[in-house]
């Protein structure tokens, strides 16, 4: 297969508000422009990814002007939302005058919940273009996010922490919420997990349903202890878990966590640990020794753990067990933040003068969803091309493997889907490209992992000879000798009549 060239096309609109048009524009508004860049992940191996931003510069319409006249950036964003292009993958950037009061002081870019941003015009055209470039990188994809997607082709040391956290693209994920109660004699813990899932988790998963299928389970485990004994700290009269003992906490617990026997999707575990009465309150310490305010930690590609401290009862004579009602909102805030991080959606690498609107109950902004989709699409295309290449190599090596019809049709379908995914990407249709790439991955995985392709089942020719010759050669010796005798006799008989005459 030739190396796959992938071109990521982002359709963008840059809208200039009144008084924000910079001098020195190359052409009068409205006009189109293209910017192409190569994203080099790994020079030697495919796919080679280039990005193309198709920008349409125009000035605001009357409705947009009215929306931009709002008091705060958030209201402006909400008012602008119905006027925008909302297809997946597109961006709209509104440029407001440098001195506009729409954005707070010191903030030059405001990124909204949907697919738009408000940018200050900046002193000059060059400054504006630099800012535009930064905004588009934050909102769509950067070289490092594409590198994260292709992380199994890049040596581990070169990845940013964001990239190392990245969950592999999969058709579905299983999310398991577990409540660990090591001390049921002291605490009877009640958590309204069903309500919390419906209220807080479902909106996020519905938004992410475009990316993959999610299934949610929950369980309560009793007498499950952490593998590490926390230290008692006299100053704060609390127990502390230091940062370097955290990696050893997960394994003893994992042995007790079940997972659904039927599904093969990766599992994300979110554990809520209520410490024993003798170890309360329990705080997690970070590397500098300060207690972490979320009291939680997470492990890439696995999930997260949060420690929920129960208030010590006021009077020591209170009867055990103490009833505890878990504040699900606080818990879900942490778990959903961890879920975002596990998917690679952190906001750490954003420049300081950017103000990012919080995503609210939906869990992630539209442009973050796009971010995920770009990364997953590129990853899917890369996976399909390696899978099909290695399948072709396998078939070359073992010439007499029998390819069943359905395996062949899956391979054809995978090739067709990946071609259409690349085409759709070059046209800027992110949604169609993502769906095509998902189909391509499903087909190629089904073809590659088909049970009939086991190379053990197909003998090379030399093994066939090696087995049958020792069996048939001794048997064939008398037959061949007899044949030779027959041939000799026939020849003699042919000669004799002539001799007799």
Partner 1 sequence: VCTSRFWFNYRHVANTLSVYRSVKRLGIPDSHIVLMLADDMACNPRNPKPATVFSHKNMELNVYGDDVEVDYRSYEVTVENFLRVLTGRIPPSTPRSKRLLSDDRSNILIYMTGHGGNGFLKFQDSEEITNVELADAFEQMWQKRRYNELLFIIDTCQGASMYERFYSPNIMALASSQVGEDSLSHQPDLGIGVHLMDRYTFYVLEFLEEIHPASQTNMNDLFQVCPKSLCVSTPGHRTDLFQRDPQKVLITDFFGSVRKVEITTETLSLDRDVAGFESKFLEEELATEPLKYAEQLPVAQIIHQKPKQKDWHPPGGFILGLWALIIMVFFKTYGIKHMKHVF
Binding mask 96-115 toward partner 1 (x if CB under 8 A, else -) reads --------------------
Q: What sign results for the dihedral spanned by CA atoms 250, 253, 259, 264?
A: positive
Asked if 341 is part of the footprint of partner 1 (rule: CB under 8 A), the reply reads: yes
Residue 33 vs 286, nearer CB to partner 1: 286
Task: Indicate the DSSP class of residue 285.
Answer: B
Residues 6+ apart with CB under 8 A from 247: 299
Asked if 387 is part of the footprint of partner 1 (rule: CB under 8 A), the reply reads: yes
Asked if 453 is part of the footprint of partner 1 (rule: CB under 8 A), the reply reads: yes
Asked if 447 is part of the footprint of partner 1 (rule: CB under 8 A), the reply reads: no
Residue with tokens 């093969």: 264
**In the complex, minimum distance from the CB of residue 330 to partner 1, in angstroms, rounded to a whole number:** 8
**In the complex, minimum distance from the CB of residue 290 to partner 1, in angstroms, rounded to a whole number:** 10
Asked if 129 is part of the footprint of partner 1 (rule: CB under 8 A), the reply reads: no
Asked if 483 is part of the footprint of partner 1 (rule: CB under 8 A), the reply reads: yes
CA distance 133 to 142: 11
Task: Indicate the DSSP class of residue 266.
Answer: -
Residue 53 vs 177, nearer CB to partner 1: 177
| Residue 410: C-alpha distances to residues 337, 404, 416, 439 (Å) | 38, 10, 10, 10
Residue 172 vs 195, nearer CB to partner 1: 195
In the window 203-222, what residues touch partner 1 (CB under 8 A)? 203
In the window 56-75, what residues touch partner 1 (CB under 8 A)? none
Residue 461 vs 501, nearer CB to partner 1: 461
**In the complex, minimum distance from the CB of residue 37 to partner 1, in angstroms, rounded to a whole number:** 27
Cα 53 to the center of its chain, rounded Å: 23
Query: What are the two backbone dihedrals, phi and then psi, of residue 281, each rounded to the nearest 5 degrees?
Result: -80, 150
**In the complex, minimum distance from the CB of residue 157 to partner 1, in angstroms, rounded to a whole number:** 10
Of 63, 69, 360, 409, the residue at the interface with partner 1 (CB under 8 A) is: 360
Looking at 100-237, which runs of residues are DSSP E strands? 109-111, 116-120, 172-181, 187-190, 213-222, 231-233
Asked if 361 is part of the footprint of partner 1 (rule: CB under 8 A), the reply reads: yes
Ramachandran quadrant class, 404 (left: phi over 0; alpha: psi -120 to 50; beta: rest): beta
Residue 188 vs 482, nearer CB to partner 1: 482
Asked if 185 is part of the footprint of partner 1 (rule: CB under 8 A), the reply reads: no
In the window 247-306, what residues touch partner 1 (CB under 8 A)? 247-248, 250-252, 254-255, 259-264, 284, 286, 292-294, 296-302, 304, 306
Q: Is 71 exposed, middle or buried (0-12, 13-18, 19+ CB in 10 A)?
A: exposed
Of 329, 466, 469, 473, the residue at the interface with partner 1 (CB under 8 A) is: 329
Of 32, 133, 168, 491, the residue at the interface with partner 1 (CB under 8 A) is: 168
Q: Please give the structure tokens belonging to residue 411.
A: 């391979």
CA distance 349 to 148: 14
Of 159, 243, 401, 415, the residue at the interface with partner 1 (CB under 8 A) is: 243
Cis peptide before 114 (omega within 30 of 0): no
């Amino acid at each position: 297969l030739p190396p796959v060239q992938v071109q990521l096309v982002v359709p963008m609109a840059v809208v200039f508000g009144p008084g924000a048009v910079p001098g020195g524009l190359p052409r009068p508004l409205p006009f189109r422009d293209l910017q192409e860049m190569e994203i080099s992940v790994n020079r030697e191996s495919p796919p080679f990814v280039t990005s193309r931003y198709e920008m349409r510069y125009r000035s605001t319409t009357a409705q947009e002007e009215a929306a931009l006249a709002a008091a705060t950036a958030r209201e402006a964003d909400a008012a602008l939302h119905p006027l925008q292009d909302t297809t997946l993958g597109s961006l709209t950037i509104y440029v407001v005058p440098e001195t506009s009061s729409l954005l707070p002081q010191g903030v030059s870019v405001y990124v909204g919940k949907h697919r738009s941003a408000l940018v200050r015009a900046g002193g000059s055209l060059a400054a504006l273009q630099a800012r535009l470039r930064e905004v588009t990188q934050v909102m769509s994809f950067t070289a490092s996010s594409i590198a994260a997607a292709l992380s199994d082709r890049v040596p581990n040391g070169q990845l940013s922490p964001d990239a190392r956290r990245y969950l592999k693209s999969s058709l579905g994920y299983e999310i398991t919420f577990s409540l660990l109660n090591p001390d049921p004699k002291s605490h009877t813990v009640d958590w309204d997990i069903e309500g919390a899932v419906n209220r807080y988790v479902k909106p996020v998963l519905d938004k992410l349903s475009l990316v993959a299928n999610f299934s949610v389970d929950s369980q309560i485990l009793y007498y499950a202890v952490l593998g590490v004994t926390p230290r008692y700290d006299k100053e704060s009269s609390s127990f502390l878990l230091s940062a370097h003992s955290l990696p050893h906490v997960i394994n003893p617990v994992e042995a007790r966590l079940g997972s659904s026997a039927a599904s093969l999707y990766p599992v994300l575990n979110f554990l809520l640990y209520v410490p024993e009465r003798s170890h309360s309150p329990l705080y997690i310490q970070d590397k500098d020794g300060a207690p972490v305010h979320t009291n939680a930690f997470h492990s890439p590609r696995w999930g997260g753990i949060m420690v929920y401290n129960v208030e010590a009862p006021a009077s020591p004579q209170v009867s055990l067990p103490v009833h505890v009602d878990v504040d699900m909102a606080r818990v879900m805030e942490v778990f959903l933040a961890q879920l975002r991080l596990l998917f690679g959606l952190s906001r750490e690498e954003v420049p300081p003068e950017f103000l990012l609107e919080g995503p609210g109950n939906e869990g992630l902004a539209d442009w973050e969803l796009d971010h995920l989709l770009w990364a997953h699409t590129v990853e899917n295309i890369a996976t399909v091309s390696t899978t099909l290449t290695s399948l072709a190599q396998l078939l070359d090596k073992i010439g007499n493997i029998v390819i069943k019809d359905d395996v062949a049709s899956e391979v054809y379908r995978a090739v067709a889907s990946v071609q259409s995914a690349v085409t759709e990407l070059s046209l800027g249709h992110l949604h169609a490209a993502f769906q095509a790439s998902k189909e391509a991955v499903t087909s190629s995985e089904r073809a590659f992992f088909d049970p009939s392709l086991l190379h053990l089942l197909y003998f090379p020719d030399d093994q066939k000879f090696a087995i049958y010759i020792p069996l048939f050669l001794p048997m064939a010796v008398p037959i061949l000798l007899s044949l030779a005798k027959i041939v000799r006799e026939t020849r003699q008989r042919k000669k004799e009549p002539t001799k007799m005459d």
